[in-house]
Amino acid sequence: MTETRLRTRIHTLAYALCILAFSMLAYLNLLYGFYRFFYAALFLVALAAGGIGYTLWVHRQQLSASGHGLILGLMAVVVLVLNLSNPQLASFWIFPLILLALLLLPLHRGLLLAGLLILLQGIAMLTQAQGLLAIASLLSALLLGAMAAVFAYRYHHHARWVGELTTTDPVTGAFNERYFDETLRREISRSESTGHPLSLLHLAIDYYGELEALHGETSLHPLLEKVSDALRDTIRAGDSHYHLGRGEFLLLLPFTPEEGVRVIAERIRRVVAEGTWPIVESATACLGGVSWHPGDQAPEELVASASRALEEAQRRGHNRVYHLDPFTSRSQPQADGSPAQG
Ligand SMILES: Nc1nc2c(ncn2[C@@H]2O[C@H](COP(=O)(O)OP(=O)(O)OP(=O)(O)O)[C@@H](O)[C@H]2O)c(=O)[nH]1
């Protein structure tokens, strides 16, 4: 089940439980003739029912949907007003709201609202000189709030961790190949609409196969991690890097023309060549670069072209940068079949 679906279900269930709780309160208050409380409970049932409708309506953006905050705010006002008039009857009406706040809202906003509710209810009860009742009810609310907060905290972090796992390579902390495909498509359509060029670099650590044979695959993880850190520190905000395995990385550089990709590729080559690295002490890398401009055809060939540029750089030796214009070289092949000079 996707995260969005799970959240939609949890939100719907939370509102449904609220409807059940406030319907029972409405029934009891009707039975004992507390008509103001009966109507207030009915109003809360209607708000919770509206919450279910809203949940289903915004099913794709549950966490960013601001309507839940509004619905909860209205409910909180009703419950606090009831507490001001008769704290004995209304003190526990706050409990479903605390649960709703922590289940429906983003963690920090849920905690804030739940804390605010408990505080305001405490003040309302103390102004009614309900000292003992206030303490008992606040302690119960705090206990419930703490339990719900622990659940919400764990859920929030688990969801973030799972989200990171689907986009990030655990060895290097760089993004993974699957996420690259997604980002490339997004960046290409952004380039098409803004008219800005987009460049791609394919980097391979020189002699990585030999290093792997010598040290073993897992022993080289610290090297990959440090190279990934160095790439992250070298590229600018908005650029991103992806680990492909076998000591290879892709770097996606939006808003970067051909002259620019040459500059950054050369800078990265120097960073690797001049750095001190775990396991191997010194290392070098080859980089192949390509640029894509809006109006160029076949953007999906960008990745294959970057790999061809890398192969050309490697063919010329190690510690090299080579830039390929995929569209020029395809339409005007050189006499010997080799691509244009980078
Ligand atoms: N995408 C990307 N391009 C870079 C980066 N560094 C340099 N470039 C490209 O290379 C060009 C020249 O960069 P620099 O030599 O650093 O000169 P600069 O005037 O300081 O570059 P900016 O102020 O970053 O535009 C830039 O305009 C970019 O196109 C980088 O980290 N990422």
- Residue in the structure block whose two tokens are 């055809």: 297
| C-beta of residue 71 within 8 angstroms of C-beta of residue 54 | yes
The per-residue pLDDT for 289 is 95
**Alpha-carbon span 185 to 181, nearest angstrom:** 6
> Measured from the CA of 235, which atom of ligand 1 is nearest?
31
For the four alpha carbons of 325, 330, 332 and 337, in that order, the dihedral sign comes to positive
The per-residue pLDDT for 294 is 78
Burial class of residue 153 (count of CB atoms within 10 Å of its CB; 0-12, 13-18, 19+): middle
Nearest CA to ligand 1 atom 21: 260
Which ipTM was obtained for this model? 0.91
Q: What is the mean pLDDT of residues 257-285?
A: 95
| C-beta of residue 324 within 8 angstroms of C-beta of residue 341 | no
The per-residue pLDDT for 211 is 94
Cα torsion for 251, 253, 259, 262, to the nearest 10°? -10
| C-beta of residue 312 within 8 angstroms of C-beta of residue 339 | yes
**Alpha-carbon span 177 to 243, nearest angstrom:** 7
> Residue 335: is its pLDDT beyond 50?
no
The per-residue pLDDT for 327 is 58
Pocket test for ligand 1, best of 198, 263, 270 (most atoms within 8 A of CB): 263
What does the DSSP assignment read for 145-180? HHHHHHHHHHHHHHHHHHHHHHHB-TTTSSB-HHHH
> Residue 331: is its pLDDT beyond 60?
no
* Any atom of ligand 1 within 6 Å of the Cβ of 172: no
> Measured from the CA of 234, which atom of ligand 1 is nearest?
31
> Residue 67: is its pLDDT beyond 70?
yes
Q: What is the mean pLDDT of residues 213-229?
A: 93
Least confident of 20-24, 191-195, 308-312: 191-195
Helix axes 94-104, 67-85, angle to 10 degrees: 160
Percent share of the chain, pLDDT over 70: 90
Question: Would you place residue 201 in the very low, low, confident or very high pLDDT band (cuts 50, 70, 90)?
Answer: very high
- Greater model confidence, 167 or 287: 287
pTM higher than 0.80, yes or no?
no
| C-beta of residue 285 within 8 angstroms of C-beta of residue 321 | no
The per-residue pLDDT for 200 is 95
What does the DSSP assignment read for 105-130? S-HHHHHHHHHHHHHHHHHHHHHTT-
**Alpha-carbon span 272 to 331, nearest angstrom:** 34
The per-residue pLDDT for 312 is 95
**CA of residue 291 to ligand 1 center, whole Å:** 14
* Any atom of ligand 1 within 6 Å of the Cβ of 239: yes
* Any atom of ligand 1 within 6 Å of the Cβ of 196: no
Give the total residue count for the chain: 342
The per-residue pLDDT for 213 is 93
Question: Would you place residue 159 in the very low, low, confident or very high pLDDT band (cuts 50, 70, 90)?
Answer: confident
> Residue 340: is its pLDDT beyond 50?
no
Question: Would you place residue 238 in the very low, low, confident or very high pLDDT band (cuts 50, 70, 90)?
Answer: very high
Mean pLDDT of the chain: 85
